[in-house]
Amino acid sequence: MIVKTRAVVLREIKYRDQSKLCTLFTREFGKLTVILKGGRNPKNRLSGIFTAGNLLDCVMYRKAEREVQLLSDASLLASPMFPEADMERFGALYRMIDLVNRTTERDEKNLQLFTLLETALREICRERGNFPLLYAWFLLRFISILGFEPELRSCVFTGRNLREALQECPSRGLRFIMNPGGLALPGNNLQEGGNNARSLTAETASLLLSLSTIRPAVLVESHAQPADTEFLLALLQDYSSLHLEQSATGRNRSIVNQILMK
């Protein structure tokens, strides 16, 4: 059957003399592999667009029982491949697509995850941006889509509204609790001990709350300090690693941890 779908290129490998095998994450069908015949031939008009991180509209001959689908046509919608080197841009890009590639199964449609990835990639394709903060924005939503959304509105222990509590006593700090996951007012709960709790400054708490509500296009205008972004990114990576570890097989757990800690 001939089908059309939007797709993100997650991976590409050489196949035989002139062809490519490409792993795509598609809007309609989830993750799948396509063969691009003659895809490494410079004369093939599709040869340059099947690069990791590119967003495409694809036409393919799809059979559900076939492991490798045959690509018919494609058009490029967005590409992060700028002439100048930008390590922050590409660092964020490859972490995102690697994370999606390693944590999704073949033929499992996930429209929420695809929409998130497409949105993030379009931001990465902008001429300028705050790419570490964009990756933190992506991670917060990625782990939430997988079912581990942290509680950021109410104290995870008491259920008390955090904004109201902070208005009454602005000097009170907040902690991020790794398990069960979310923000908490300071107290003597035993679960706050050890590595399960991270103390937040007012700036990092404000940044985390902002990330949970703002559109990614606004991130470029953020005045967040690099140190606050770095702290929050490390916290979200630890949180993601912890909860993915609990739901992954041993092999996938190791792979995911390597991606998050790069």
- Please say whether the beta carbons of 60 and 2 come within 8 A: yes
d(CA 4, CA 71): 10
The reply to whether 35 falls in a domain is yes
The reply to whether 115 falls in a domain is no
Task: Dig out the tokens for 153 from the structure.
Answer: 């509105």
CATH of the domain at 74: 2.40.50.140
Let me know whether 150 and 57 are in one domain: no
DSSP for 9-52, please give it: EEEEEEETTTEEEEEEEETTTEEEEEEETTTT-TTSTTTTT--T
Let me know whether 137 and 217 are in one domain: yes
pLDDT at residue 190, rounded to an integer = 47
Let me know whether 139 and 73 are in one domain: no
- Give the model confidence (pLDDT) of 181-223 as tens digits: 999 988 755 455 567 899 998 889 889 999 999 999 899 888 8
The reply to whether 101 falls in a domain is no
Let me know whether 64 and 153 are in one domain: no
Q: Measured between alpha carbons, how far is residue 22 from residues 46, 57, 63, 249 in Å?
A: 12, 14, 16, 25
- For residue 212, the enclosing domain spans 129-260
d(CA 187, CA 140): 25
Let me know whether 136 and 212 are in one domain: yes
Number of domains in the chain: 2
Let me know whether 239 and 134 are in one domain: yes
**What are the residue ranges of helices labelled H in the chain?**
87-103, 111-124, 131-143, 162-168, 202-211, 226-247, 250-260
d(CA 97, CA 100): 5
The reply to whether 103 falls in a domain is no
- Please say whether the beta carbons of 3 and 62 come within 8 A: yes
Let me know whether 149 and 213 are in one domain: yes
Residues of the chain with pLDDT under 50: 190, 249-257, 259
Let me know whether 145 and 61 are in one domain: no
Let me know whether 242 and 153 are in one domain: yes
- Give the model confidence (pLDDT) of 42-58 as tens digits: 777 777 888 899 999 99
The reply to whether 109 falls in a domain is no
The reply to whether 99 falls in a domain is no
Full-model pTM: 0.87
